[in-house]
Structure 1
Amino acid sequence: MGGSQSTRKVTVDNEHAIQVSREALDRIQAQLDAKQAEQPVAQPAPQYLPPPPYDHKRQQEYAAEEAYWAQRIESLKRQHEKINSGMHLEYQKTLKEANELFNMVQGDKVVTKLAPCQEEKAKVLQCYSTNPDKTLVCSVLVNEFNDCVCKSRVAAVTASS
């Protein structure tokens, strides 16, 4: 059912299957000549003619329109320059504020470079190392360290505001 290809071959051995007589060729040639004679002779392509000269009224209208659009373009340029200058000023102002904030934060980091409550931290670590199995013995020192950290946070918040 169409699964295999056919092995049949067809060959044609007739090389001169169609022969045209000389009379038929003459009739075809005569018809072609008649058709060419019927076609009109090709006329030269029309040349471009310049537009008629403008009258004075049209010239004034075009001049007025040109002046309007030139004025409109200049107006838009001025508006664009105002917007650009305003944006440039805002950019400079924001950049200055950002630099001031950055410098302020950098100054605070330099001043408070050492973490607070270092002594209390050292005491807690010493207590834990000497009493590894008795962590509750160090609870008083841990509470002192916790109080110190809380006081440092409150001082940092009040200093920044």
Structure 2
Amino acid sequence: MGGSQSTRKLSVDNENAIQVSQEALDRIQAQLSAKQPEPASQPPPQYAPPPPMYDSSKRQEAAAEEAYWARRIENLKRAHEKINSGMIVEYQKTLKEANELFELVQADKIANKLPPCQEEKAKVLECYSTNPDKSLLCSVLVSEFNDCVCKSRIAAVTASS
């Protein structure tokens, strides 16, 4: 039971099969080879112009339609020019504002590049260089420099808040 394979053979007899002799095949092939494809000598298709309009009402209708589309195109061109000019004005305005903001930022960066209290610092250094052995004579200038530094720190903190 299932231990060996069974083989089945099936044969079908077709009584309707057509048999063609070799002689008939040779004649068919000779006829096919005798017929050679003819070159396409057809002229390319030409498009005829539209038929003339004999009716005057159709001519008037076509002229009115042409005028309508010409007006419509002109109106669209004018609308486009208005929109374009408005965009140019807005672009110039925005560019001007951006340049002003950029200039403010650049000026602020330049102002912030220098450390605060440069004048007071210069006075203190000058006092120390003129009085190398008497540093207590410069205590008033040092106090002013210290006050300036404290004020600039407070200003920086309040500006960033």
Q: Which band: TM-score by shorter chain? A: 0.3 to 0.5
- State TM-score, norm by structure 1: 0.46
Normalising by structure 2, report the TM-score.
0.46
